[in-house]
Chain A
């Protein structure tokens, strides 16, 4: 009978209100709601959700504990496979992973696995329950490059194994994409990210900000001069891509990385902070991924009319479904099957519009998605004073160029095997630096695999 209960609707800030503030959109479940939602799980014998989870969390098992009200036990089960449940519960594309394969979703609505994971993660943070931490230090040092999801996950597992871990972060604040990229309204920085990092500090992990590995210090120096026996590279996605169209260097064209970094990391929307941000009256965001949604919703919150420009149709939008839904509720305009051809500027070099063409979908391309084709003679102009390019990234060449023996592939991503071992002995890598821009959960998973491999490598030396 359990599946007769409808999926428990999660409480959210009113769209009209939240479109003017940076508070979290989704309030999450309370205990009562979580228990009710958990009771919907069929506890399948062959749970398809587990196979669909990139890190194979034992989902039915933790949900059973939630249903019984034993949240500490639920947290323990998740912790076996994930170190960042509060974060992944908020930012994973559940509709393509666990929830997308939930048997209840075939005829009705999938169990809200993401919201339950978030509930358990938040409960654990609130109650400082992160499992056993009393591990004897083994005196061996490992360096982690980057404090984003892969680096944090790797550091956490290594610390629990007794390693003396130092995380080097290039920016002034810890968290990588979790702080500079994903906005506050989707992932609260103090309440969630900072507390996840604090729990690592309690495990004994050391953090050094303002260290750009490859410039401030090289990997070679870390290993030869500072006694690190292994290094994990979790340096992230890299340089923002642009389209290569005319007018892209006009004033008012920015990358989503720049726009989001100004807003999130540098708190440009807060008068107390000195960093400027240029929002304009009408903002066009080019792209259809999560970063595009984050940028367009940030622009909206800063007072602009904001539009998504995407060359395929809505069905192909790579963003999480929830973000698209939230964006629409907040009044974001979506111009699908539209591709920019030129940025138009005034005589002083400031953006006044975006020349576009209409597209139609043709044959499927190598990604399996139908490829967009230009409709001849369909040119038109989108008026705007800011254009934000959210087109993905290309790898930063810095570590390759400063680390002997570290190979990259054709696309410039670091070459690493299944467990993260690179072509350089003792150096491991994972996350976007290896895969190109992907998800928090995949990066976290790669960090954990590498931690295990680093442990085996050091023990075998």
Chain B
């Protein structure tokens, strides 16, 4: 059992949970994820790590309530326990293997979308702590759905916020902001890292391709075990099949077959809807 030591509502239906998990905290690195199971009946849900504190032995995750299991998870409060918290899983981001000199010589552009902003944070923080410089674009539909802007501002070289409706910062999609930075502000980058909804990552890669800007994406594929055993997280990269959990979760975005990845992500959508209905039904009975 793993204790929830902090819970905060960050935006509509988006919660931060800080979990006491000393072993995971000790080993966690930017780019990795955990598998969370709320209780005996819950699914094993893969969630990217939003932060970790090795001294405190805690790991932070940020969750959007979508399915039955994430709803149950976010119904818990501080001091409650979740059944399982396994990780860190997947490979860390490539730059954790680089020398500080190499990190300092590279200019990064991070593009974060929605709840995907959370896993961008430990990456930018790591670069910041190792002398690197990273510009960050955070995108959201509207101002009330923005998360992690204050934290990000502390570690990013430049932080740009883009909202679809213009209620905060730049009005438009993150792709328009990328173009704006490169075309109008004269920015240039060695690498782009995009994390967010699959559709956003697809369009970011289409945009960065125009600038021949190498782009890394972090895929949130369906998983059961998260350790390579089930193969649910298969993804086509450059025409070859990879397992997101053991080969990823980060891949060369220009080579990922996003249309297939999005289709595969929807594989259990109908069943998941049924599960939510069952839970809602139960709640009405009380």
Nearest neighbor of B69 in chain A, beta-carbon distance: A274
Q: When chains A and B are docked, how far (Å) is the Cα of A211 from the Cα of B227?
A: 11
Q: Which residues of B contact A348 (CB under 8 A)?
A: 263
Q: Which residues of B contact A398 (CB under 8 A)?
A: 227-228, 246
Q: Are A172 and B260 in contact (CB under 8 A)?
A: no
Contacting residue for A171 out of B24, B43, B69, B225, CB 8 A: B225
In the complex, which residues of chain B have a beta carbon less than 8 angstroms from the beta carbon of A257?
229-231
Q: Is B232's beta carbon under 8 Å from chain A?
A: yes
Q: What are the interface flags for A183-195 relative to B under an 8 Å C-beta threshold, 1 for contact and 0 otherwise?
A: 0000000000000
Known: A216-B23, A251-B267. A172 touches B228 (CB 8 A): no
Q: 1/0 contact trace for B1-43 toward A, CB 8 Å?
A: 0000000000000000000000110110000000001000111
**Which of A38-46, A51-59, A234-242, A292-300 makes up part of the contact surface?**
A234-242
Bound CA span A269–B203, Å: 38
Complex contact B229–A215 (CB within 8 A): no
| B23 contacts A242, C-beta separation under 8 Å | no
A 345-371 contacts with B by CB, 8 A = 348-349
Q: How far, in whole Å, are A113 and B263 apart by their CA atoms in the complex?
A: 50
- Are A215 and B88 in touch, CB under 8 angstroms? yes
The answer to whether B272 and A276 touch across the interface, beta carbons within 8 angstroms, is yes
Give the interface SS of chain B, mostly helix, strand, loop or mixed: mixed
Q: Which residues of A contact B275 (CB under 8 A)?
A: 274, 276
Given A172-B83, A240-B230, A261-B224, check contact A276 B268 (CB 8 Å): yes
> In the complex, what distance in Å separates the CA atom of A267 from the CA atom of B275?
13
* A254 touches B (CB below 8 Å): yes
Asked if B236 is an interface residue, CB under 8 A from chain A, the answer is yes
Take A262-B224, A266-B43, A273-B41 as given contacts and tell me if A249 and B230 are in contact as well, using a CB distance cutoff of 8 Å.
no
Neighbouring A residues of B27 by C-beta, 8 Å: 215-217
A396 engages B230 (CB within 8 Å) = no
Is B231 touching A254 in the complex (CB atoms < 8 A)?
yes
B residues 181-236 in Cβ contact with A at 8 Å:
224-225, 227-232, 234, 236
Whether B44 pairs with A266 at a CB distance below 8 angstroms is yes
B278 engages A239 (CB within 8 Å): no
**Count of B residues near A, CB < 8 Å?**
44
> Which residue from A211, A212, A249, A266 sits with its C-beta under 8 Å from B224?
A266
**Interface flag for A210 (CB, 8 Å):** yes
- Is B258 an interface residue when CB atoms closer than 8 A count as contact? no
Q: Which of A212, A239, A265, A276 contacts B243 (CB 8 A)?
A: A239
- Of A211, A240, A348, chain B has the most CB atoms within 10 Å of the CB of A240
Contacting B87 at CB < 8 Å: which of A212, A249, A261?
A: A212
A376 at the interface (CB under 8 A from B): no
Least Cβ–Cβ distance between A342 and chain B, in angstroms: 15
Query: B259 → chain A, closest Cβ, in Å?
Result: 8
Tell me which of A258, A271, A274 contacts B43 (CB under 8 A): A274
**Mask: chain B, 223-263; 1 = CB below 8 Å from A; 0 = not:** 01101111110101000010100100000000000001001
A13 at interface by CB-CB < 8 Å: no
Query: B41 touching A272 by the CB < 8 A rule?
Result: yes
- A215-B87 in contact given A249-B260, A274-B68 (Cβ < 8 Å): yes
* Interface: B85 (CB within 8 A): yes
CB distance from B71 to the nearest CB of A (A): 10
B264 at interface by CB-CB < 8 Å: yes
Q: Which of A166-196 contact B (CB under 8 A)?
A: 170-172, 180
CA distance A261 to B272 in the complex (A): 17
A129 to B228, CA, bound (A): 38
In the bound complex, residues from chain B placing their C-beta under 8 Å from that of A261 are 224-225, 229-230
Q: A275: CB under 8 A from chain B?
A: yes
Verify if A209 is at the interface (C-beta below 8 Å from B): yes
- Interface residues of chain A, those whose CB is within 8 Å of chain B, are 170-172, 180, 209-212, 215-217, 236, 238-240, 242, 244, 248-249, 251-252, 254-255, 257-258, 261-262, 265-267, 271-278, 348-349, 396-398
30 pairs of residues in contact across A and B, judged by CB atoms under 8 Å: A171-B86, A171-B225, A171-B227, A172-B83, A172-B86, A210-B84, A212-B86, A216-B87, A216-B88, A217-B23, A236-B229, A238-B228, A242-B231, A242-B234, A251-B263, A255-B232, A257-B231, A258-B232, A262-B224, A266-B43, A266-B224, A273-B41, A274-B41, A274-B43, A274-B67, A276-B274, A278-B267, A278-B268, A396-B246, A398-B227
Given A252-B267, A274-B42, list of 19 further CB < 8 A pairs?
A: A170-B227, A209-B84, A209-B86, A211-B86, A212-B86, A215-B27, A215-B88, A216-B87, A236-B229, A238-B229, A239-B229, A251-B263, A251-B264, A261-B224, A261-B225, A267-B41, A272-B41, A278-B271, A398-B227
Which 6 pairs from chain A and chain B are nearest by CB?
Answer: A276-B271, A258-B230, A210-B86, A276-B268, A255-B231, A172-B84
Chain B interface (Cβ < 8 Å from any Cβ of A): 23-24, 26-27, 37, 41-44, 67-69, 72, 83-89, 224-225, 227-232, 234, 236, 241, 243, 246, 260, 263-264, 266-268, 271-272, 274-275, 278
